[in-house]
Amino acid sequence: MKFLSCFRFSLVVAAAVLLCPFPALAQDQIQFPVPSPSATVKQTVGLTDIEIVYSRPASRGRQVFGGLVPYDQVWRTGANESTRITFGGPVVFGGVDVPAGTYAIYSVPGKKSWEVILSSNAELFGSYGYSADADVARVTVKPEKLATPLESLAIGFEAVVDDEAKLSIAWENTKVSVDVFADTQTELVPQIEAAMASDSEEKPYFAAAMYYYSKGIHLQQAAAWMAKVVEQQPDAFWASYRQGLVLAAAGDHAGARQAAKASIAKASEHSNRELREEYVRLNEALLARLE
């Protein structure tokens, strides 16, 4: 009888273990939300792909700068692991030449100025073990006050125009920005010249002309290429409008007015009312600027 009682007791214990796993095992099977979730930002500037990976802490009613994040001390610029930024090509970061690669973003927040740092050591947990010896760039910027407070840290890009952008770091009532420039001319102009000098029958006249126009370079050449585009597509009112833009930038106002009027005439015959009205409006604005 004693043996049977022990045997039944053992079965009960075994069943209890199976039905009620150890706490550690249960926790491993449940996914809990993290206090500072990760985020990834991707942006192309010029021809250069840039990616930022960081964790986003929240203020949760706490004072951030000068409190949770002390002034005048190196900050990981995020939470958890170091905030990392990867440049697919060389850039100018706040006036400093930075080669392609992956870097940690650190910062030193201050009341009147910040220092934003790129470090070649991107493997640290936070800023623990940070050393200025690994700095690739250290840029001083002035903070600005946000009109609307941000609950969570936000890192991203603003004013992305051609090959320029601003890297912004914003949280609570504060935002700082660093200019990022990714040179396209050095790489692209030789490619354009080679393509135009080739024997290919399909040359990028339009794209090349508009690139030169956007950079304000070689405008006479751009105008010649736009004339080629209009010759190849005589009914393309969008091409005549842009021909007017290029001619105006090149200083040929008479030619620009002629192109704008031609674009209006072509657009006026288009069946799509919205498209027709848009290009008439654009060309009239161009003509007004040329007066």
Same domain, 114 and 224: no
Tokens 């010896």 sit at which residue?
A: 133
Residue 22 has a pLDDT of 47
Same domain, 159 and 134: yes
Residue 142 CA to residue 127 CA, distance in Å, equals 22
Tokens of 61: 């009613």
Strand order in the sheet with 144-161: 96-98, 91-93, 164-181, 144-161
- Tell me the pLDDT of the chain (291 aa) as tens digits: 444 444 444 444 444 444 444 455 555 689 899 999 999 999 999 999 999 999 999 999 999 999 999 999 999 999 999 999 999 999 999 999 999 999 999 999 999 999 999 999 999 888 888 999 999 999 999 999 999 999 999 999 999 999 999 999 999 999 999 999 999 999 999 999 999 999 998 999 999 999 999 999 999 999 999 999 999 999 999 999 999 999 999 999 999 999 999 999 999 999 999 999 999 999 999 999 998
End-to-end CA gap in the chain: 113
**Last residue of some domain: 139, 165, 181?**
181
| Integer angstrom CA distances of residue 189 from 2, 212, 247 | 94, 9, 20
Residues 119 and 245 grouped into a single domain? no
Using CA atoms, how far residue 6 sits from 15, 19, 20, 73, 77, in Å, is: 14, 20, 21, 65, 61
Instruction: Record the tokens describing residue 74, joined without a space.
Output: 């190196």
Beta strands in 56-198 (DSSP E): 83-87, 91-93, 96-98, 101-108, 114-119, 135-141, 144-161, 164-181
C-alpha angle 61-65-71 in degrees, rounded to nearest 5: 150
* Whether residue 192 sits in one domain with residue 159: no
Report the alpha-carbon distance of residue 289 to residue 291 in Å, rounded: 6
Domain assignment present for residue 243? The answer is yes
Asked if residue 170 and residue 151 are part of one domain, the reply reads yes
- Whether residues 159 and 195 share a domain: the answer is no
- The sheet carrying 48-55 orders its strands as 38-45, 48-55, 83-87, 101-108, 114-119, 135-141
**Owning domain of residue 81:** 38-181
User: Do residues 174 and 73 share a domain?
Assistant: yes
Q: Are residues 147 and 47 part of one domain? A: yes
- What's the CA gap between 191 and 287, in Å, rounded? 34
Specify whether 52 is located in the same domain as 136: yes
* Contact in structure between 271 and 237 (CB atoms under 8 Å): no
Q: How many beta carbons lie within 10 A of that of residue 283, not counting itself?
A: 25
Q: How many domains is the chain partitioned into structurally? A: 2
Q: In 3D, which of 242, 247, 218 has the Cα closest to residue 230?
A: 242
Are 254 and 269 contained in the same domain?
A: yes
DSSP state of 123: -
pLDDT at res. 124: 87
Q: What are phi and psi of 111, to 5 degrees?
A: -65, -40
For position 208, which CATH number holds? 1.25.40.10
Half-sphere exposure for 49 (CA within 13 Å, toward CB):
3
pLDDT reported for residue 15: 43
The two beta strands, 114-119 and 135-141, are antiparallel
CA gap 148, 161 in Å, rounded: 25
